[in-house]
Structure 1
Amino acid sequence: MSQQLIEGKDFYYDDKGYMVLTEAYHLQKGYCCGYGCRHCPFEYESVPEPRKSQLLQEKASSPNNA
């Protein structure tokens, strides 16, 4: 993926100033990188345990997931 990222489509800045990659960006990339990204659409498949289980539990209990 050597394209320039577009703010609002590929990423946004959270309230702490961190750049957060969007689900759309990850889907275009096509795979889980294993870093535990906030909007990973691949169920954190490349994240090692026990972090993977922790992230999946947090995602399931998130109010945005309802």
Structure 2
Amino acid sequence: MELREGEDYYLEGGFLVFTAAYHRKRGYCCGSGCRHCPYPKAVQAEAMRLRQEGRPIRSRAEFEARFGQV
């Protein structure tokens, strides 16, 4: 997926910050606590727990199998 500055991300203090639009295009919550994550807090918490256990969600298919279409 090609990233577009201003639409998918912006730069802040030398860091690349993904937008909510990018997260929706990607199609899943990675559990990293992203600033603009558009997914419900309960989904974010579960994705973060899985990540901390060493079992991060790595694809849209895996995300939808666990949470359905959010």
| TM-score category of the 2 structures, normalised to the smaller one | 0.5 to 0.7
How many residue pairs get matched? 45
Runs of 4+ in 1 over 3 A off after TM superposition: none
Measured in 1, the distance between the counterparts of 2:3 and 2:25 equals 12
TM-score, length-scaled by structure 1: 0.62
Structure 2 regions of 5+ residues with no counterpart? 50-70
Q: Distance in 2 between matches of 1:40 and 1:8?
A: 16
Greater fraction helix: 2
Please provide the CA RMSD for this pair. 1.1
The normalised TM-score by structure 2 is 0.59
Other-structure match for 1:8: 6
More contact order relative to length (CA 8 Å, sep ≥ 6): 2
